[in-house]
Copies of this chain bind each other. A is one copy, B any other.
Amino acid sequence: MRTTLLRRHLTASPYTLPPTIRQLLSSTTYNSSNEANVTVTGWIKSIRRQKRVSFAVVSDGTTSAGLQAVFPNSSLVPKELTNGASVKLRGRLGKSLGAGQEKELVVKDVEVLGLCDPETYPIQKQALSHEFLRDNVHLRTRTTSVAAMLRLRHALQRELSFYLEQQGFIHVHTPLLTSNDAEGAGETFKLAKITEKASNLGKTDVILTDALSHPEQDDEFFGRPAHLTVSAQLHLESFQAAISRVWTLSPSFRAERSQTSRHLSEFWMLEAEWGDLPVGTPDTGVRGICTFVEGMIRAAVKNVLEAPDTKADIDVSWGPTVDEKLDLKTERRQEMEKAVFGNGRWNIMTYGDAILALEEEYERQRRDGRTQFEFKPAWGKSLQSEHEKWLAEVMIGGPVFVIDYPLESKPFYMRVNDFDGERQTAACFDLLVPGVGELVGGSVREEREDVLLQRMKEVGLWTEENGLGHYEWYMDLRRYGGSPHVGFGMGFERLVSWVGGIENVRECVPMPRWAGRLLL
């Protein structure tokens, strides 16, 4: 249905670009019984020169397959057609005579647009290490796997946008510069003070005279310290309090030095805030959010896995790369597909139950002389990455929502659960998935003014002198028609990692940034 929609629009426009290789290969206009003259621009992925006929695979990066190009007369193939060279090919697209592809291009005319020295070209044909490609991040998109990852990101974003649109959400662009710090915990990047110079004042000739009257000075450009956002949540809550269902997919920043396969200094996060819970479930409170999140991820990923053009990309990204255990990858992929297509609902367990299970496992490990867990699990302590992975990978073998964490370990904005007579918890959840760990975190937001104020006092956001200071606006959202609402944040690179089977998030983002690494 979507394909029809895309095609309809494509023909309608008089301003249309020529079809890409993906469009040519998937289009029914250029099918086996209907040869057509086409022009294709792309890069040589491989070339096989034979005595009479030569073959090349040409990619424009829009599909993982590439286009099979046949040169009927080898003597007319320019010597400049080497791996990586940019070419424009004109010819007839029709049914392929060879195996391995449906269509092929019989080339009539070649134009070399850009040479590529095969000796020095960094993207050689043999498998290249992730580290080498990270060092050559400006060219790594030429590899089949990085290009497939970019298309996968694109497809996931498209399907998530689509799903949220249907559910009545508005996509809002939250600011990245902020005077707040949503989590309190995470270290933020701060802007340097500005040294004012004449050039600040604009490009025009005349305004330079004005500049002379400004003495050079060091100051805060915004009149107060400015940080890069660690989460759009508080801003989203302000929009939620007026247009009900809002989301954003935008960069977040953490100035943390952790060098793990799951952390980046600049990462993309899908965050949403809304009021009503799904109507198709008896679940309320935090369990209702889990239902919604499960529905969203399943629907979006299902569409990506089912569309023929993106399925090929998934096959590439799950394919073997340097140094990976294929058995485990196959198992992970099956788990992921079962989670998306299976009939069963995803598991929900309380933090309390998770701790009990982890404590038992810890004892078992000790008894059996295994030392898998570095950290001893205990009520009140954070779940370590190793605990999260064990819960999802070993205990459940699929996604699992852990809900109702201890209140004192959670931020002030999470709703306080009714006291169960023993322990104080927050109405929050983390979604854990195999291979990745925490994929989504969210909560019911504290909408009660008195409870929220109490919590903000506890974490030191209220002082005798300044009251709530910069956070006064956040309380206003409760004072003036506040209403119950919920929200979550999903690490977009972690979603790509889970769906695409890509081990390190540094390969899940176009240009990764981490402590000590800022190329380009």
Contact = CB atoms under 8 A, between A and B. Distances in A.
Interface of A: 1-2, 5-6, 8-10, 13-20, 22-23, 41-44, 60-62, 84-86, 113-117, 121-123, 137-139, 141-142, 146-147, 150-151, 153-154, 157-158, 161-163, 165-168, 170-180, 185, 187, 189-194, 196-197, 199-206, 221-224, 226, 228, 234-235, 238-239, 241-245, 250-251, 253, 255-258, 265-266, 268, 274-281, 291-292, 294-296, 298-299, 375, 381-382, 384, 447, 473-474, 476-484, 509-511, 513, 515-520
Nearest to A514: B222
Contacts of A16: 167, 278-280, 295
Contacts of A139: 238, 241-242, 476-477, 480
Nearest to A267: B173
A199 B187 contact: yes
Interface SS, A side: loop
Nearest to A194: B255
B41 A275 contact: yes
A507 B167 CA distance: 26
Contacts of A167: 10, 16-17
Contacts of A239: 141, 150, 510
Contact of A172 (B150, B277, B518): B150
Given A20-B245, A175-B266, A243-B151, A9 B194 contact: no
A190 B187 contact: no
A177 to B, nearest CB: 5
A436 to B, nearest CB: 18
A382 B203 CA distance: 9
Contacts of A292: 15, 17
Contact of A6 (B153, B165, B483, B510): B165
A389 B475 CA distance: 43
Given A157-B171, A175-B251, A201-B257, 16 more contacts: A2-B5, A16-B280, A17-B245, A43-B242, A43-B481, A86-B481, A113-B481, A113-B482, A114-B478, A147-B243, A177-B253, A177-B265, A221-B516, A222-B265, A250-B250, A250-B251
A86 to B, nearest CB: 4
Nearest to A189: B191
A239 B484 CA distance: 43
B483 A20 contact: no
A382 B265 contact: no
Contacts of A158: 161, 165, 171
A518 B15 contact: no
A518 B226 contact: yes
A61 B238 CA distance: 12
A517 B222 contact: yes
Contacts of A1: 5, 8
Counting every copy of the chain, the complex holds 2
A207 to B, nearest CB: 9
Contacts of A174: 510-511
A504 to B, nearest CB: 17
Given A258-B202, A480-B117, A278 B138 contact: no
A516 B222 contact: yes
A479 B250 CA distance: 33
A337 to B, nearest CB: 19
B192 A190 contact: yes
A335 to B, nearest CB: 21
A138 B280 contact: no
A480 B6 contact: no
B202 A62 contact: no
A202 B190 CA distance: 18
Nearest to A409: B203
Contact of A296 (B5, B15, B447): B15
Q: Give the residue among A13, A84, A382, A478 with the most B Cβ atoms within 10 A.
A: A13
A24 B383 CA distance: 43
A153 to B, nearest CB: 7
B176 A515 contact: no
Given A42-B244, A520-B234, A375 B278 contact: no
B473 A513 contact: no
A510 to B, nearest CB: 6
Contacts of A477: 138-139
A509 to B, nearest CB: 7
B194 A170 contact: no
Contacts of A185: 203
A243 to B, nearest CB: 3
A243 B221 CA distance: 38
